[in-house]
Chain A
Amino acid sequence: MTLIAFLILISAVVIGYVLNLRSARALRHGGAKMHSLDGFHGGYAALMVLIPTFMLIITWLLFQGTVIEYLVKSGLPQDQLEGKGTGEIQLIMAEIRSIAGGRIFGTPEAWKLDAAERMVALRATSGGLLVAATAALAAVMLYIARRKVAADFRARQGAEGIIHGLMVACATVAIFVTIGIVASLLFETIRFFNMVPFWDFILGTSWEPQIPLREDQIAAEGAFGMLPVFLGTLVIATVAMVVATPIGLLSAIYLHEFASHRVRAVVKPVLEILAGVPTVVYGFFAILVIAPAIRSFGADLGLPIAPNTALAAGSVMGIMLIPFISSFADDALGAVPRSLRDGSLAVGATPAETVLKVLFPAAIPGIVGGILLAVSRAIGETMIVVMAAGLIAKMTINPLDSVTTVTVQIVTLLIGDTAFDSPKTLAAFALGMVLFLMTLVINIAALRIVRKYREIYD
């Protein structure tokens, strides 16, 4: 049925285009002085049919499932649903759905079979209605568009106006998705703060999210203080930036200013490969190479070093960020006009002095923006730390100790059998919310810095 609806849509679009094109051409041949070219009249009709009808089909498909479920559910015998929780009702609905889809397990009760039959019937009706509605709307739009063809009708502006509106709509999608993401985080976070006091979470120094799942289970009381977790994130992100910033910047300067063509032809693609390595692979590298190396080095010095140190995870994360920073710095240096370089060289500065005293200061805003974006990536990075960092939250800033991060905690809180109404699970959303706000602030700061201090060269 959906296929038929789409076929109707396509043929209506084509018909609209051809009809308007031909009638416009007829007018022109009849001696009228047309405002717009024939093609614009055709295009106007095509767009007038396409967009509303397409929107209708999409909305229909999005909501028909929900509506049918609602109708079926309200038609179920009341005595069967009495005293049942949402989870059980959802199970019953799932069973009805699978019966309607032809997958029957065991012998279901008669009322479930009835409901399934009703569901099948409703779906068929819905499909038929969809086709009818599509055809009707397409016909109406065809008629409206066809009526518009006239010598002084501004089809050109009309078609452009529709396309303009379409572009605005596409740009809005991103904004609404962002709002949706924030809202979904926000609701769960509010639920969490109904169970755990806000300040306990923000200022608490103890993170032990183990709480009893069942009434009779013996477990700790549970403590949700985010400070040690965020401290861990900061330690690892700091290590990462200490590794990534100098290496990334210096490699960018070298590649941009000093490297010969041949060196650049080799090194740049290698850096790009580094940027394309999946973070899981970096995780392997951290556990299998860096962590044992740090540990045995520490053992040689007589230092007791945890197997999953912040240093190992952080330095591998730093390696991951090198291409990020270096490509930002490269762009920033490339944006400095050649005339500045010439000006510096012409007063007798060496290439190194030119980079250090003229190009680098001129490129600083772009570079700082890149570094801040790298910081927010380091804070949000998940896979490397899940593999290579620890699980126990400690209030420490020692990079040789084992620390945990916000992202690691979110992952561990959400995997496994968890109920979605316990503070343990909801804590993940609260952590995610704080993380989101942090990276948001950093990103905004980065963009503002880039924009404010960017030198405008013409």
Chain B
Amino acid sequence: MYDLKKPEHDVDQAKTKISARGVQVFYGDTQAIKDVNVEIADKTVTSFIGPSGCGKSTFLRCINRMNDTIDICRVEGEITIDGHDIYAPDVDPVQLRAKVGMVFQKPNPFPKSIYDNVAYGPRIHGMTRNKAELDEVVETALRGAGLWNEVKDRLDTPGTGLSGGQQQRLCIARAVATQPEVLLMDEPCSALDPIATALIEDLIDDLKQQFSVVIVTHSMQQAARISQKTAFFHLGNLVEYGDTDTIFTNPRDERTENYITGRTG
């Protein structure tokens, strides 16, 4: 039921997974996102880049409705996944978040064992019928996150005892365990050293075979290395969106060019 080896898709032929039309986000009276339209492809890594406070994280959090947990936050416009409006009244945000996993900037493992951390989602959603199946899901998720070999002998030790990079991969395993269709990553490497970062970047490359990955990053090299599509945000606007190669070599907009060449930041 949980198969990592799905046939690889060609990026160019990928169909649209997430589509946003006229999205605006307000925190109280301040507008954080202004009229964003974007089509994010399936089985692709899409990176959001832009200076701090430009709204890329806010937009990311709209895709799994994490902004609902902030009282003063208001989202307008339409975001669809596979053509279904995720802000429709009949959509349960809890179910949605099982389908749209998220990894945060700082590793946030629960103060539980490694096993329980990964099994958290599958248990909540009743995805397995018995212990053996759960064991399998946990193992698959940990393998998928490239962590299995490091922790298989100490699954019952606390997840908080791992190193920073391992913790972040544990969080990826936790997100992957619920078999999401989309994985959102909010600067997943900003708290990690270069070696741990390289591991996670390899991992992201593997993960895109199963689902569409959207990653917010401050490192343009990282965006160039791992993503096929790049979106540049500036002051709440989506300035430019297209193939990563095009954005980095031949940007259309002056603001994008300035940011990429380091003239503004």
Contact = CB atoms under 8 A, between A and B. Distances in A.
Contacts of B102: 342, 346
A347 B101 contact: yes
Interface of B: 64, 66, 69, 71, 94-99, 101-102, 104, 106, 108-112, 120-121, 124-125, 160, 171, 174-175, 177-178
B160 A455 contact: yes
12 contacts: A342-B69, A343-B104, A343-B171, A344-B110, A344-B120, A345-B69, A346-B66, A347-B124, A348-B121, A348-B178, A357-B124, A358-B120
Nearest to B69: A345
A366 to B, nearest CB: 13
A362 B95 CA distance: 25
B160 A347 contact: no
A358 to B, nearest CB: 5
A98 to B, nearest CB: 68
A352 to B, nearest CB: 10
Interface in A288-340: 337, 339-340
A340 B110 contact: yes
B68 to A, nearest CB: 9
A337 B111 contact: no
B97 A348 contact: yes
A345 B110 contact: no
B71 A362 contact: no
A353 interface: yes
A350 B97 CA distance: 10
Interface in A53-100: none
Contacts, number: 69
Contact of B178 (A340, A341, A342, A347): A347
B71 A357 contact: no
- Which 9 A-B residue pairs are closest in the complex by CB-CB distance? A348-B98, A339-B108, A347-B121, A346-B102, A348-B97, A343-B108, A455-B111, A362-B111, A349-B124
A361 B94 contact: no
B124 A353 contact: yes
A261 interface: yes
Contacts of A349: 94, 120-121, 124
A349 B104 CA distance: 16
A343 B116 CA distance: 14
Nearest to B99: A348
A347 B103 CA distance: 10
Given A337-B108, A350-B94, A343 B124 contact: no
Interface residues of A, number: 20
Given A339-B108, A340-B110, A342-B108, A348 B125 contact: yes
Contacts of A261: 71
Nearest to B122: A347
Nearest to A455: B111
A347 B98 contact: yes
Interface string A341-378: 11111111110010001100110000000000000000
B46 to A, nearest CB: 18
Nearest to A346: B102
A236 to B, nearest CB: 35
B120 A357 contact: yes
A339 B64 CA distance: 16
Contacts of A358: 110, 120
Contacts of B178: 347-348
A345 B97 contact: yes
A342 B112 CA distance: 16
B111 A361 contact: yes
B211 to A, nearest CB: 15
A73 to B, nearest CB: 67
Contacts of A455: 111, 160
A434 B250 CA distance: 82
Contacts of B125: 348
Nearest to B117: A343
Interface string A111-148: 00000000000000000000000000000000000000
A345 B177 CA distance: 14
Contact of B104 (A339, A348, A353): A339
A353 B112 CA distance: 15
Contacts of A347: 97-98, 101, 120-121, 124, 174-175, 177-178
Contacts of A345: 66, 69, 97
Contacts of A339: 104, 106, 108
